[in-house]
Structure 1
Amino acid sequence: MSMHYCSVVTTGQLARDHVAALESLHSRVTVDRRCEDLAELVAVAAAIRADAALIVGGTEALADTLLSELRGRGTHVVIVSDVAAERARLSRLGAVCFDDDVDPARLARALEEGRDIPGPPMVAEGVELSSFPSPVVQDWPSTPTAEASAPEAYVISGTDSAPPQGPEDITEAETSGESVPLQGLTCVWGSHGSPGRTTVAVNLAAELALSGARVLLIDADTTAAAVAVHLGLLDETAGLAQACRFAEMGTLDHAALARSAITVETAGAAWDVLTGLPRADRWAQLRPRGIERVLKLAAIHYDCVLIDVAASIESEETGFDVLAPQRHGATLSALRSADRTLTVGAADPVSFSRLVKALEEHRERLPDAVTPELIINQVRRTVVGRSPRDQLRQAWEQLQGRGRIGHFLSWDQAACDTALLKGQVLAEAAPQSVLRREIAQLAGIVIPSRRRRLASGGRTGRRSRRISGERASPRTEGKIG
């Protein structure tokens, strides 16, 4: 330990005067400033580069973002509270907490070290005290394997399927390479405009749920949230914002996550949704730290977590030495946390050029994030020309030169319009559509088609196969806390 003194800023007071007790020790711990409130404490700690912050009482407004801001500047956070529940909550957020009767010498050591050392070190060197709290998991049912619980029409596979040829403007289903089943955290991102991010995310979630997986879809689009509209949900409660509030206050656990989510049933399969913001001006409610904690907990409880995010990933520069809220912090946090990122772009010239620029920006701003997998949506001859896939591949090589297009999704406006009008997924509104099969294939799922011989003329036709429970029951809202 270096011999320089430990600079402390403090605010609040309970029955005991801890500042006077610390000064009476004549140790390296020196209280440089008493602050009127938390806002002043944060500002002063940044201005004088304080080593520690001592917050006494009045901790109800303390949240994860503020504590993380202080720790990010190298300031240890020590809390003194006479409320046991507050000490427990703040300990889960990584703060060192004591009651009002704490011994001054023990308090001084905690301010110097950033951890509680009552005598011999109680925590081994290198242990991170601010790790994510262990959630309660015992009341979740055991999860059957996808193969065992999948409906008859579903096959989990890494090979391509052979879906039927669609209308003239719908190209034949095709993928590049093998489809890997989705699991863990998957972020659905894309370029500006309407390339179909939400359509892909919603239908991926439905297909994965039909395959037997436990699925959570999170609408983290802070610009134009649309998952609730796609699913016909009329509730205006922002489930993700509620979960983030629990995370910010250190009270997020399995029960809180379940209260925030809405359970929907599509084509006979149930899955969960954290709905997005009903208004874009509420974006500040989705703090990056809250998003990260929600995603960590969700990844424990679900087989597949899909996050639908906005296109913008630029960060704001305030010009001041303060931690300001980031307009696109939710998108950036989701992309950094994702195990896979599916980047959706449309096939028309405007969207295609936007996609190239978006991926360049992704490489510059998120060099440590997972490499995006490219999905070209709305593929059609009328806007690309003959052999649209070949032309798009050639254009990609000329404009980008890096990576390759992983999947193509066909243009099927009729199926999408029907699904949106009815608040359904494609598995309900257009179960035999080419687009539905391609999205399932993107999730690593093959839906076999069934054919029958027509009695007249002997020509091969197609028979629509009704999936058990295809017509979904009305959307069932979960418990909202």
Structure 2
Amino acid sequence: MEGQTCILVLAAGAPWESTALPALTRRPGIVVVKRCVDVTDLLASATTGQADVAVVSLDAPGLDGPAVQHLRHHGVEPVAVLADAGRGDLGDRMNRLGLVFGVGVDQVDHLPDAVLAAGAADQGQEPTTRPGPAMGAGHGRCTVVWGPAGAPGRTTLALAIAGEFAQRGAAPLVIDADPWGGSVGQHLGILDDVSGLLACARASAAGELGGSYLGLQRRVGGLRVITGLPRPDRWVEARVGLVEQLVELGRRQGEVVLDTGFALEDDPAAEFSGRPSRNGMTLEALSVADDVVVVGNADPIGLSRLARGLVELRETIGGKPVRVVVNRMRSSVGWSEAEVTGMVNGFAELSGVHFLPDDRGTTDRALLGGRMLAELGDSALSKAVARLVDGLRPGTARAGGRRLSRRRAVPARRS
């Protein structure tokens, strides 16, 4: 409703509701849309787009970091009512959950003011991409690597881009967000059984991700790494909002690179239940990306999949800048780079088309040794990746011929 702040209320049986509701309904400009019975009902109601603010009890079962992210994803700003405003642990929990607005149970008369303030703040929050090249802490952009089915080289390319970022003075964070079975850890020779992604999911659910995610990263060859799912069936443990949280935290340190899955189909039923969809991590990664890199194979099947994938991707991400990487380019395919570029440009408006040579020797050495391309020295493939990164981050350059060296991987802390 124009000019009105519409709210959802979740008191979870707390006695303050009997005082809060009259105070809210008497204030001009506030409309109570619904009283929710539990967090699941609250999350489902938020997806309807009818509310601006949710007044929630901090003690409501199931109110966690992903639930707060879900509310904000649908344009609903939460306002907490603290059972005991004098207890420091409750204030700490509010901070861990990322809650900005709240009142104590003895200040419910001031709840309408907090609601109106939250509604005004929410109307001013529009997602924006971060312009310009950046290498270093506090200026990070998010680069998402996506590609259609058929093993076009998403993980290899994501790690190659991250390695080149490291060559240019960054310490990029690599997140394995593939819901169909991550392989970043295997590519880098990380063989332990600790999944960084699932550890972050548990920390997020407990409202502790901001304070613990640094300890859940691995340090490998100049990269910071959050490893992926140990088994494809565990995708259900990655709640809605987790990838967005990790990207936002990672941007504060510097560059972020995401390896994603191939499928873009959404599960509409998931929106109303608050549970994740199978491809939710991929879609969430694309929604928060500053730069999208799409990779496909340089053969008839691979290029056909790439063309169809570009059309589907454009329907998903809208007008975000997209760069296409044609992988394993070789003369035996029978097409020139100009011919392939003309074909690809016919299916989407692109920021650039790049070609990586079919350098099997280099990729085999990297995979068998658990290393990045940047650790193996200059090759035709690494030079092609450097040209791609020149397009992604113009104005940046390698730091004085620096070459990455492998240090012993620092184990992730168990959660």
Which moved further from structure 2: 232-241 or 192-201?
232-241
Distance 1:26 1:473, change over 3 A: closer
Alignment of 1:172-183 (within 5 A): none
Select which of 205, 219, 238 maps to 1:263: 219
Distance 1:248 1:291, change over 3 A: farther
Give the C-alpha shift of residue 388 in structure 1.
Answer: 3.3
| C-alpha contact (below 8 Å) 1:64/1:247 kept by paired residues | yes
Matched, 1:442 2:388: yes
3-state SS of 1:272 partner: strand
Matched, 1:333 2:284: yes
| C-alpha contact (below 8 Å) 1:187/1:306 kept by paired residues | yes
User: 1 CA distance for matches of 2:310 and 2:4?
Assistant: 49
Which moved further from structure 2: 57-66 or 435-444?
57-66
Matched, 1:185 2:142: yes
Give the C-alpha shift of residue 263 in structure 1.
Answer: 0.4
Q: Tell me the residue number matched to 1:10.
A: 11
Select which of 294, 299, 314 maps to 2:265: 314
Q: Tell me the residue number matched to 1:277.
A: 229
Instruction: Give the AA of the match of 1:389.
Output: E
> 1 or 2, which has the higher helix percentage?
2
Select which of 80, 93, 98 maps to 2:98: 93
Distance 1:70 1:275, change over 3 A: closer
| C-alpha contact (below 8 Å) 2:45/2:272 kept by paired residues | no
Give the C-alpha shift of residue 344 in structure 1.
Answer: 0.8
| C-alpha contact (below 8 Å) 1:9/1:31 kept by paired residues | no
Matched, 1:81 2:83: yes
Q: Tell me the residue number matched to 2:191.
A: 234
Instruction: Give the AA of the match of 1:378.
Output: R
Instruction: Give the AA of the match of 1:260.
Output: L
Matched, 1:224 2:172: no
Instruction: Give the AA of the match of 1:63.
Output: D
String of CA shifts for 1:357-399, please: whole Å, max 9, x gaps: 111011112215x2211111100122x12x63234234435x5
| C-alpha contact (below 8 Å) 2:178/2:228 kept by paired residues | yes
User: 2 CA distance for matches of 1:7 and 1:184?
Assistant: 34
3-state SS of 2:241 partner: helix
String of CA shifts for 1:258-284, please: whole Å, max 9, x gaps: 11100012xxxx221111111122223
Q: Tell me the residue number matched to 1:171.
A: none
3-state SS of 1:311 partner: coil
User: 2 CA distance for matches of 1:438 and 1:211?
Assistant: 15
TM-score, reference length from structure 1:
0.68
Task: Name the % identity.
Answer: 28
Distance 1:434 1:126, change over 3 A: same
Give the C-alpha shift of residue 27 in structure 1.
Answer: 5.7
Matched, 1:127 2:121: yes
User: 2 CA distance for matches of 1:347 and 1:427?
Assistant: 23
Alignment of 1:11-26 (within 5 A): 11-13=12-14, 17-22=15-20
Give the C-alpha shift of residue 434 in structure 1.
Answer: 1.1
**Computing the radius of gyration over CA atoms, which structure comes out larger, 1 or 2?**
1
| C-alpha contact (below 8 Å) 1:10/1:31 kept by paired residues | no
Instruction: Give the AA of the match of 1:476.
Output: V
Matched, 1:427 2:377: no
| C-alpha contact (below 8 Å) 1:64/1:248 kept by paired residues | yes
| C-alpha contact (below 8 Å) 2:9/2:36 kept by paired residues | no
Q: Tell me the residue number matched to 1:371.
A: 321
Q: Tell me the residue number matched to 2:256.
A: 305
Give the C-alpha shift of residue 40 in structure 1.
Answer: 5.5
User: 1 CA distance for matches of 2:24 and 2:180?
Assistant: 54
Give the C-alpha shift of residue 195 in structure 1.
Answer: 0.8
Q: Tell me the residue number matched to 2:131.
A: none
Q: Tell me the residue number matched to 2:151.
A: 194
Aligned length: 391
User: 1 CA distance for matches of 2:292 and 2:24?
Assistant: 55
User: 2 CA distance for matches of 1:59 and 1:129?
Assistant: 26
Distance 1:414 1:130, change over 3 A: same
Q: Which runs of 5+ in 2 are unaligned?
A: 127-133, 391-395
Coordinate RMSD, CA, aligned: 4.1
String of CA shifts for 1:408-467, please: whole Å, max 9, x gaps: 1000112211221111222344x242112211232237789xxxxxxxxxxxxxxxx9x8
Q: Tell me the residue number matched to 2:331.
A: 381
Instruction: Give the AA of the match of 2:103.
Output: F
Matched, 1:106 2:110: yes
String of CA shifts for 1:96-147, please: whole Å, max 9, x gaps: 43334x144234x25xx625xxxxxxx5983349979xxxxxxxxxxx988x
3-state SS of 1:443 partner: helix
User: 2 CA distance for matches of 1:5 and 1:468?
Assistant: 56
Distance 1:197 1:36, change over 3 A: closer
Q: Tell me the residue number matched to 2:299.
A: 348
User: 1 CA distance for matches of 2:5 and 2:251?
Assistant: 43
3-state SS of 1:318 partner: helix
String of CA shifts for 1:132-166, please: whole Å, max 9, x gaps: 9xxxxxxxxxxx988xxxxxxxxxxxxxxxxxxxx
Give the C-alpha shift of residue 24 in structure 1.
Answer: 7.7
User: 2 CA distance for matches of 1:81 and 1:318?
Assistant: 34
3-state SS of 1:209 partner: helix
User: 1 CA distance for matches of 2:351 and 2:44?
Assistant: 48
Distance 1:243 1:403, change over 3 A: same
String of CA shifts for 1:307-339, please: whole Å, max 9, x gaps: 111121221122985444222222122212222
Distance 1:131 1:194, change over 3 A: same
3-state SS of 1:11 partner: coil
Distance 1:403 1:42, change over 3 A: closer
Q: Tell me the residue number matched to 2:130.
A: none
Distance 1:246 1:262, change over 3 A: same
Alignment of 1:160-171 (within 5 A): none
Select which of 177, 198, 204 maps to 2:161: 204
Select which of 416, 438, 441 maps to 2:363: 416
User: 2 CA distance for matches of 1:79 and 1:225?
Assistant: 40
| C-alpha contact (below 8 Å) 1:419/1:426 kept by paired residues | yes
User: 2 CA distance for matches of 1:375 and 1:5?
Assistant: 46
Alignment of 1:31-46 (within 5 A): 37-39=38-40
User: 1 CA distance for matches of 2:269 and 2:64?
Assistant: 22
